[in-house]
Amino acid sequence: MGLWQGLVELARGLREVVYPGVCGLCDRPGPTDPLIPFLCPVCKELLSHDPALACPRCASMVGPFTHLEDGCPNCRTERFAFDAASCFGRYQDRLRELVLRMKHHSAEGLAEMAGTLWASLRGPELAKLDIEIVVPVPLHWWRRLTRGYNQSEALARSLAEGLNLPCQPGLLRRIRHTPHQSHLPATQRRINVAGAFRASADVRGLSFLLVDDVMTTGATSDEAARALKASGASRVVAAALARATG
């Protein structure tokens, strides 16, 4: 165990001593799931049941009668570097609250819990995607330093563990700092992240699950997948914990 991971485990243990049995999402005291700590039964139930159907090409929410052979109406005219997309649920209600809390510097345990829940509920679905390696969308070093951790990396680690796959967070690097995508209109997001990523090794013939916390237009995942493909990846599936609905 590395020094940083050891400090994370120490902080998690101290939290349990000071705030035993407190949900990390709603802050209510009460019993938590021993396999998914920091989550009360109410929040777990609300997070676990999202009946919405998603487009297998872009992960947008679709209706039950939408024709999806060439993608959904949102993506049929789009060209993506990733080959498919998957999401845990819609960016709303409890899942939105979870994503927002994960952006705080002390929420690494919460992000890991989210990855564990994702694997436990969507594992069979993700196992069908023919993936060999899990890789998170990286943060720029300065943003990671100020936040304290990369929430997508914490998600990816737990998700990979649940899927019994290797996670290689250093394989993809963000080589330039970019403004937050959420602050930009959709038309500017592709321009903002163009050339922002680079694979640090030859990944010829390998297939990847590319993990991020939120997908809105798909621009970030598209550019990160483009970097993996440029280094030889044979297949990239973009996976987001939450998919924006509008």
* Domain segments of the chain as ranges: 55-65+79-243
Structure confidence at residue 176 (pLDDT):
82
pLDDT digit string (tens) for 145-179? 888 899 999 999 999 999 999 999 999 999 887 76
Helix, coil or strand: residue 158: helix
Res. 60 pLDDT band, cuts 50 70 90: very high
pLDDT digit string (tens) for 82-105? 999 999 999 999 999 999 999 887
Task: Using DSSP bridges, classify how beta strands 61-62 and 53-54 pair: parallel, antiparallel or unpaired.
Answer: antiparallel
Structure confidence at residue 32 (pLDDT):
66
Residue 58 reports pLDDT greater than 90: yes
Amino acid of residue 190: R
Q: Is the Cα dihedral 139, 141, 143, 144 positive or negative?
A: positive
Q: Are 192 and 180 within 8 A, CB to CB?
A: no
Statement: the pTM of the whole predicted model exceeds 0.95: no
55-65+79-243: which CATH number, 3.40.605.10, 3.40.50.2020, 3.30.390.30, 3.40.50.720? 3.40.50.2020
Distance of CA 77 to CAs 72, 73, 192, 213, 246, Å? 9, 8, 21, 25, 17
